[in-house]
Amino acid sequence: MKFSPVARTIALSTSLKRRQLIALGASSALSGFILPRDTSAQSVSDYPSKPVKVVVSFTAGGTTDVIARSVSQLLAEQFKQAFVIENKPGSGGNIGNEQVARSVPDGYTLTVASVGPMAINPTLFKNLKYDPLTELTPVILIADVPNVLIMSPGSPIKTFAEFVAFAKAKPAGTLNYASTGVGTSAHLSSVMLMDRIGVQAQHIPYKGAEALNDLLAGRIDFMFATIPSVIGQIKAGKLLPLAVSSLKPSRSLPGVPTVSESGYPGFAAGSWFGMLAPTGTPRPIIDKLNAGVKLAMIKLEQRFVAEGADPVGGSPEEFKDFIQKEYIKWKKVVIDSGASAR
Protein backbone atom coordinates (compact mmCIF):
# COMPACT_ATOMS: atom_id res chain seq x y z
CA MET A 1 0.00 0.00 0.00
CA LYS A 2 1.36 3.46 -0.93
CA PHE A 3 0.83 6.67 1.04
CA SER A 4 0.79 10.20 -0.24
CA PRO A 5 3.47 12.59 1.07
CA VAL A 6 0.88 14.26 3.32
CA ALA A 7 -0.26 10.91 4.71
CA ARG A 8 3.29 9.85 5.34
CA THR A 9 3.95 13.10 7.24
CA ILE A 10 0.84 12.56 9.40
CA ALA A 11 1.82 8.94 10.04
CA LEU A 12 5.36 9.89 11.04
CA SER A 13 4.06 12.64 13.31
CA THR A 14 1.65 10.23 14.98
CA SER A 15 4.38 7.62 15.38
CA LEU A 16 6.74 10.18 16.92
CA LYS A 17 4.10 11.30 19.39
CA ARG A 18 3.41 7.66 20.29
CA ARG A 19 7.13 7.04 20.93
CA GLN A 20 7.35 10.21 23.04
CA LEU A 21 4.36 9.09 25.11
CA ILE A 22 5.89 5.63 25.56
CA ALA A 23 9.20 7.17 26.58
CA LEU A 24 7.44 9.47 29.01
CA GLY A 25 5.58 6.52 30.50
CA ALA A 26 8.80 4.55 30.87
CA SER A 27 10.45 7.52 32.52
CA SER A 28 7.56 7.81 34.94
CA ALA A 29 7.73 4.11 35.75
CA LEU A 30 11.49 4.29 36.25
CA SER A 31 11.11 7.25 38.57
CA GLY A 32 9.26 4.94 40.95
CA PHE A 33 12.48 2.99 41.46
CA ILE A 34 14.63 6.05 42.13
CA LEU A 35 12.08 7.99 44.13
CA PRO A 36 14.14 7.96 47.34
CA ARG A 37 17.06 9.65 45.56
CA ASP A 38 14.86 12.18 43.79
CA THR A 39 13.20 13.16 47.06
CA SER A 40 16.32 12.96 49.21
CA ALA A 41 16.13 16.64 50.14
CA GLN A 42 12.62 16.15 51.47
CA SER A 43 13.66 12.91 53.23
CA VAL A 44 16.51 14.69 54.97
CA SER A 45 14.36 17.62 56.08
CA ASP A 46 11.76 15.23 57.49
CA TYR A 47 14.31 12.93 59.13
CA PRO A 48 13.50 10.91 61.09
CA SER A 49 10.02 10.18 59.78
CA LYS A 50 9.97 6.59 61.09
CA PRO A 51 11.66 4.56 63.87
CA VAL A 52 15.47 4.38 63.80
CA LYS A 53 17.29 1.15 64.60
CA VAL A 54 20.42 1.44 66.74
CA VAL A 55 22.49 -1.73 66.60
CA VAL A 56 24.62 -2.58 69.64
CA SER A 57 27.23 -5.23 68.89
CA PHE A 58 27.35 -6.51 72.48
CA THR A 59 24.94 -8.00 74.99
CA ALA A 60 22.39 -6.00 76.93
CA GLY A 61 23.62 -4.48 80.18
CA GLY A 62 27.22 -3.86 79.10
CA THR A 63 28.82 -0.42 78.83
CA THR A 64 28.12 -0.11 75.08
CA ASP A 65 24.48 -1.05 75.61
CA VAL A 66 23.99 1.33 78.55
CA ILE A 67 25.48 4.28 76.65
CA ALA A 68 23.48 3.49 73.50
CA ARG A 69 20.20 3.20 75.40
CA SER A 70 20.80 6.39 77.36
CA VAL A 71 21.52 8.43 74.23
CA SER A 72 18.76 6.78 72.16
CA GLN A 73 16.10 7.55 74.76
CA LEU A 74 16.90 11.26 74.62
CA LEU A 75 17.12 11.25 70.82
CA ALA A 76 13.64 9.73 70.72
CA GLU A 77 12.36 12.56 72.89
CA GLN A 78 14.03 15.19 70.70
CA PHE A 79 12.96 13.83 67.32
CA LYS A 80 9.58 12.40 68.37
CA GLN A 81 10.49 9.05 66.84
CA ALA A 82 11.53 5.77 68.42
CA PHE A 83 15.24 4.92 68.46
CA VAL A 84 15.09 1.16 68.94
CA ILE A 85 18.06 -0.76 70.35
CA GLU A 86 18.88 -4.09 68.70
CA ASN A 87 21.57 -6.17 70.41
CA LYS A 88 23.66 -8.17 67.93
CA PRO A 89 26.55 -9.66 69.93
CA GLY A 90 29.20 -11.93 68.54
CA SER A 91 32.70 -12.04 67.04
CA GLY A 92 34.01 -9.25 69.24
CA GLY A 93 31.45 -6.77 67.92
CA ASN A 94 31.99 -7.59 64.24
CA ILE A 95 28.57 -9.14 63.56
CA GLY A 96 26.53 -6.11 64.54
CA ASN A 97 28.86 -3.62 62.90
CA GLU A 98 28.89 -5.55 59.64
CA GLN A 99 25.08 -5.56 59.62
CA VAL A 100 25.06 -1.78 59.89
CA ALA A 101 27.76 -1.39 57.22
CA ARG A 102 25.60 -3.43 54.83
CA SER A 103 22.42 -1.46 55.57
CA VAL A 104 20.80 1.17 53.38
CA PRO A 105 22.58 4.49 54.08
CA ASP A 106 19.44 6.45 54.86
CA GLY A 107 19.97 7.22 58.54
CA TYR A 108 17.53 4.60 59.78
CA THR A 109 20.17 2.05 60.80
CA LEU A 110 22.94 3.23 63.13
CA THR A 111 25.40 1.71 65.54
CA VAL A 112 26.96 2.72 68.81
CA ALA A 113 30.36 1.04 68.59
CA SER A 114 33.48 0.87 70.73
CA VAL A 115 37.25 0.76 70.34
CA GLY A 116 37.25 -3.03 69.83
CA PRO A 117 35.31 -3.44 66.59
CA MET A 118 36.42 -0.08 65.21
CA ALA A 119 40.16 0.12 65.97
CA ILE A 120 41.39 -3.23 67.32
CA ASN A 121 39.50 -5.88 65.34
CA PRO A 122 40.75 -4.82 61.88
CA THR A 123 44.17 -6.14 62.96
CA LEU A 124 43.09 -8.77 65.48
CA PHE A 125 40.74 -10.61 63.10
CA LYS A 126 42.43 -11.97 60.00
CA ASN A 127 39.30 -12.54 57.90
CA LEU A 128 36.96 -9.60 58.48
CA LYS A 129 34.15 -9.51 55.92
CA TYR A 130 33.94 -5.72 55.96
CA ASP A 131 36.15 -2.71 56.64
CA PRO A 132 34.86 -0.63 59.55
CA LEU A 133 37.21 2.22 58.63
CA THR A 134 35.67 2.73 55.19
CA GLU A 135 32.19 1.19 55.38
CA LEU A 136 31.00 3.09 58.45
CA THR A 137 30.73 6.87 58.67
CA PRO A 138 31.51 8.56 62.01
CA VAL A 139 28.74 10.65 63.52
CA ILE A 140 30.10 11.60 66.95
CA LEU A 141 32.43 10.38 69.69
CA ILE A 142 30.13 10.04 72.66
CA ALA A 143 32.37 9.09 75.57
CA ASP A 144 35.87 8.14 76.59
CA VAL A 145 36.00 5.32 79.13
CA PRO A 146 39.49 4.93 80.57
CA ASN A 147 40.78 1.69 81.99
CA VAL A 148 41.95 1.66 85.57
CA LEU A 149 44.83 -0.39 86.93
CA ILE A 150 43.53 -2.25 89.98
CA MET A 151 44.84 -4.50 92.71
CA SER A 152 43.48 -6.06 95.86
CA PRO A 153 43.19 -3.57 98.74
CA GLY A 154 44.90 -6.24 100.86
CA SER A 155 48.07 -5.88 98.80
CA PRO A 156 51.01 -4.04 100.38
CA ILE A 157 51.26 -2.02 97.17
CA LYS A 158 49.42 1.28 97.49
CA THR A 159 50.77 3.51 94.69
CA PHE A 160 51.62 3.24 91.02
CA ALA A 161 55.32 3.81 91.75
CA GLU A 162 55.25 0.90 94.19
CA PHE A 163 53.55 -1.23 91.55
CA VAL A 164 56.29 -0.51 88.99
CA ALA A 165 58.97 -1.42 91.54
CA PHE A 166 57.06 -4.60 92.41
CA ALA A 167 56.69 -5.60 88.75
CA LYS A 168 60.37 -5.05 88.02
CA ALA A 169 61.42 -7.02 91.10
CA LYS A 170 59.36 -10.10 90.23
CA PRO A 171 61.39 -13.07 88.90
CA ALA A 172 61.16 -13.42 85.11
CA GLY A 173 57.96 -15.09 83.95
CA THR A 174 56.20 -14.96 87.33
CA LEU A 175 54.27 -11.69 86.99
CA ASN A 176 50.73 -12.25 85.69
CA TYR A 177 47.67 -10.21 84.86
CA ALA A 178 44.04 -10.85 84.01
CA SER A 179 41.76 -9.51 81.33
CA THR A 180 38.25 -10.06 80.04
CA GLY A 181 39.56 -11.68 76.86
CA VAL A 182 42.27 -11.78 74.22
CA GLY A 183 42.42 -8.60 72.19
CA THR A 184 40.25 -6.54 74.53
CA SER A 185 41.35 -3.06 75.54
CA ALA A 186 42.02 -4.38 79.05
CA HIS A 187 44.40 -7.02 77.66
CA LEU A 188 46.17 -4.67 75.28
CA SER A 189 46.44 -1.89 77.87
CA SER A 190 48.47 -4.28 79.99
CA VAL A 191 50.62 -5.17 76.99
CA MET A 192 51.30 -1.47 76.41
CA LEU A 193 52.14 -0.86 80.06
CA MET A 194 54.49 -3.83 80.37
CA ASP A 195 56.28 -2.67 77.24
CA ARG A 196 56.68 0.85 78.63
CA ILE A 197 58.09 -0.25 81.98
CA GLY A 198 60.22 -3.00 80.42
CA VAL A 199 58.67 -6.01 82.13
CA GLN A 200 57.41 -9.34 80.79
CA ALA A 201 54.16 -10.68 82.23
CA GLN A 202 51.88 -13.63 81.61
CA HIS A 203 48.39 -12.92 80.32
CA ILE A 204 45.50 -14.92 81.77
CA PRO A 205 42.19 -14.23 79.99
CA TYR A 206 38.94 -14.72 81.88
CA LYS A 207 35.23 -14.59 81.25
CA GLY A 208 32.96 -12.83 83.69
CA ALA A 209 33.70 -12.04 87.33
CA GLU A 210 36.25 -14.82 87.88
CA ALA A 211 39.10 -12.42 87.12
CA LEU A 212 38.19 -10.11 89.99
CA ASN A 213 37.74 -13.06 92.32
CA ASP A 214 41.24 -14.33 91.54
CA LEU A 215 42.66 -10.82 91.83
CA LEU A 216 41.18 -10.42 95.31
CA ALA A 217 42.39 -13.90 96.27
CA GLY A 218 45.95 -13.02 95.27
CA ARG A 219 46.14 -15.49 92.39
CA ILE A 220 46.43 -12.63 89.91
CA ASP A 221 48.93 -9.79 90.38
CA PHE A 222 47.05 -7.01 88.60
CA MET A 223 44.60 -6.14 85.85
CA PHE A 224 43.15 -3.28 83.88
CA ALA A 225 39.38 -2.89 83.81
CA THR A 226 37.01 -0.30 82.39
CA ILE A 227 36.05 2.20 85.07
CA PRO A 228 32.26 1.59 84.76
CA SER A 229 32.74 -2.13 85.40
CA VAL A 230 34.53 -1.62 88.73
CA ILE A 231 33.72 1.90 89.95
CA GLY A 232 31.18 0.62 92.49
CA GLN A 233 33.71 -1.76 94.05
CA ILE A 234 36.39 0.93 94.05
CA LYS A 235 34.14 3.39 95.87
CA ALA A 236 33.17 0.64 98.32
CA GLY A 237 36.86 0.01 99.07
CA LYS A 238 36.81 -3.51 97.62
CA LEU A 239 39.35 -2.71 94.88
CA LEU A 240 42.42 -0.47 94.95
CA PRO A 241 42.87 1.88 91.94
CA LEU A 242 46.51 2.68 91.20
CA ALA A 243 46.28 4.66 87.95
CA VAL A 244 43.97 5.41 85.03
CA SER A 245 44.96 4.90 81.42
CA SER A 246 43.71 8.21 79.99
CA LEU A 247 45.95 11.18 79.23
CA LYS A 248 43.88 13.39 81.51
CA PRO A 249 42.70 12.45 85.02
CA SER A 250 39.30 10.81 85.05
CA ARG A 251 36.48 12.91 86.43
CA SER A 252 34.97 9.67 87.68
CA LEU A 253 37.93 8.84 89.91
CA PRO A 254 39.31 12.15 91.17
CA GLY A 255 42.62 11.79 92.94
CA VAL A 256 43.69 8.69 91.00
CA PRO A 257 46.74 9.62 88.88
CA THR A 258 47.19 8.82 85.23
CA VAL A 259 49.92 6.49 83.99
CA SER A 260 51.07 9.36 81.78
CA GLU A 261 51.69 11.73 84.67
CA SER A 262 53.26 8.96 86.76
CA GLY A 263 56.44 8.73 84.74
CA TYR A 264 55.24 7.40 81.37
CA PRO A 265 54.19 10.46 79.37
CA GLY A 266 51.85 9.92 76.45
CA PHE A 267 50.48 6.63 77.73
CA ALA A 268 46.84 6.44 76.65
CA ALA A 269 44.83 3.25 76.44
CA GLY A 270 41.21 2.53 77.09
CA SER A 271 37.75 2.21 75.68
CA TRP A 272 35.60 4.74 73.88
CA PHE A 273 32.13 4.74 72.38
CA GLY A 274 30.69 6.57 69.41
CA MET A 275 27.81 6.62 66.95
CA LEU A 276 28.33 5.63 63.30
CA ALA A 277 26.17 5.18 60.21
CA PRO A 278 26.60 3.27 56.94
CA THR A 279 28.93 5.03 54.53
CA GLY A 280 26.90 7.06 52.07
CA THR A 281 24.44 8.38 54.63
CA PRO A 282 23.57 11.98 53.57
CA ARG A 283 25.66 14.58 55.37
CA PRO A 284 22.63 16.60 56.54
CA ILE A 285 21.41 13.51 58.41
CA ILE A 286 24.86 12.99 59.94
CA ASP A 287 24.87 16.62 61.08
CA LYS A 288 21.34 16.31 62.48
CA LEU A 289 22.31 13.25 64.51
CA ASN A 290 25.54 14.89 65.67
CA ALA A 291 23.62 17.89 66.99
CA GLY A 292 21.02 15.65 68.60
CA VAL A 293 23.59 13.55 70.44
CA LYS A 294 25.34 16.69 71.68
CA LEU A 295 22.08 17.88 73.25
CA ALA A 296 21.58 14.46 74.79
CA MET A 297 25.11 14.48 76.22
CA ILE A 298 24.45 17.74 78.06
CA LYS A 299 21.64 16.02 79.95
CA LEU A 300 23.65 12.84 80.45
CA GLU A 301 26.95 14.41 81.54
CA GLN A 302 26.57 14.03 85.31
CA ARG A 303 25.24 10.49 84.97
CA PHE A 304 28.07 9.46 82.64
CA VAL A 305 30.73 10.84 84.96
CA ALA A 306 29.16 9.16 87.99
CA GLU A 307 29.25 5.82 86.17
CA GLY A 308 32.82 6.13 84.89
CA ALA A 309 32.54 7.69 81.43
CA ASP A 310 33.89 11.06 80.31
CA PRO A 311 31.65 12.76 77.69
CA VAL A 312 33.51 13.95 74.57
CA GLY A 313 31.45 15.25 71.62
CA GLY A 314 33.01 17.03 68.65
CA SER A 315 32.43 16.90 64.90
CA PRO A 316 32.21 13.89 62.56
CA GLU A 317 35.59 14.86 61.12
CA GLU A 318 37.20 14.91 64.56
CA PHE A 319 35.76 11.48 65.30
CA LYS A 320 37.03 10.13 61.97
CA ASP A 321 40.53 11.44 62.66
CA PHE A 322 40.40 9.98 66.17
CA ILE A 323 39.42 6.52 64.88
CA GLN A 324 42.27 6.54 62.36
CA LYS A 325 44.80 7.41 65.06
CA GLU A 326 43.38 4.74 67.36
CA TYR A 327 43.60 2.15 64.57
CA ILE A 328 47.29 2.95 63.98
CA LYS A 329 48.06 2.80 67.69
CA TRP A 330 46.25 -0.47 68.39
CA LYS A 331 47.54 -2.11 65.23
CA LYS A 332 51.08 -1.93 66.59
CA VAL A 333 50.02 -3.20 70.00
CA VAL A 334 48.10 -6.15 68.54
CA ILE A 335 51.03 -7.12 66.33
CA ASP A 336 53.53 -6.77 69.18
CA SER A 337 51.31 -8.86 71.47
CA GLY A 338 50.95 -11.66 68.95
CA ALA A 339 47.20 -11.78 69.62
CA SER A 340 44.92 -12.99 66.86
CA ALA A 341 41.35 -14.12 66.34
CA ARG A 342 39.45 -15.85 63.59
> Can you give the chain as a three-state secondary structure string?
CCCCHHHHHHHHHHHHHHHHHHHHHHHHHHHHHCHHHHCHHHHHHHCCCCCEEEEECCCCCCHHHHHHHHHHHHHHHHHCCCEEEEECCCHHHHHHHHHHHCCCCCCCEEEEEEHHHHHHHHHHECCCCCCHHHHEEEEEEEEEEEEEEEECCCCCCCCHHHHHHHHHHCCCCCCEEEECCCCCHHHHHHHHHHHHHCCCCEEEECCCCHHHHHHHCCCCCEEEEEHHHHHHHHHCCCCEEEEECCCCCCCCCCCCCECHHHCCCCCCCEEEEEEEEECCCCHHHHHHHHHHHHHHHHHHHHHHHHHCCEEEECCHHHHHHHHHHHHHHHHHHHHHHCCCEC
**Same structural domain for residues 243 and 322?**
no
**Same structural domain for residues 154 and 252?**
yes
Domain-embedded: residue 14: no
> Range of 254's domain?
146-262
Which residues 6+ apart lie within 8 Å of 288 measured at CB?
A: 44, 47
**Same structural domain for residues 229 and 183?**
yes
**Same structural domain for residues 222 and 287?**
no
Domain-embedded: residue 278: yes
Which residues 6+ apart lie within 8 Å of 286 measured at CB?
A: 107, 137, 139, 277, 316
**Same structural domain for residues 251 and 191?**
yes
**Digitized pLDDT (tens) for each residue of the chain, 342 residues in all:** 444 444 444 344 444 444 443 444 444 333 333 334 333 555 788 999 999 999 999 999 989 999 999 999 999 999 999 999 999 999 999 999 999 999 999 999 999 999 999 999 999 999 899 999 999 999 999 999 999 999 999 999 999 999 999 999 999 889 999 998 899 999 999 999 999 999 999 999 998 678 999 999 999 999 999 999 999 999 999 999 999 999 999 999 999 999 999 999 999 999 999 999 999 999 999 999 999 999 999 999 999 999 999 999 999 999 999 999 999 999 999 999 999 987
**Same structural domain for residues 175 and 316?**
no
**Beta strands 222-226; 136-151: pairing state:** antiparallel
Last residue of a domain, one of 262, 285, 319: 262
pTM of the model: 0.84
- Amino acid 41: pLDDT: 58
Domain-embedded: residue 91: yes
Q: Of the candidates 191, 49, 58, which has an alpha carbon nearest to the alpha carbon of residue 115?
A: 58
Contact 64, 113 (CB under 8 A): yes
- Amino acid 342: pLDDT: 72
Domain-embedded: residue 313: yes
- Amino acid 42: pLDDT: 57
- Amino acid 40: pLDDT: 56
Domain-embedded: residue 26: no
Last residue of a domain, one of 262, 279, 299: 262
Domain-embedded: residue 294: yes
Please count the structural domains in the chain.
2
**Same structural domain for residues 258 and 152?**
yes
Last residue of a domain, one of 199, 229, 262: 262
Sign, CA dihedral 4-10-13-18, equals: negative
CATH (domain of 109): 3.40.190.150
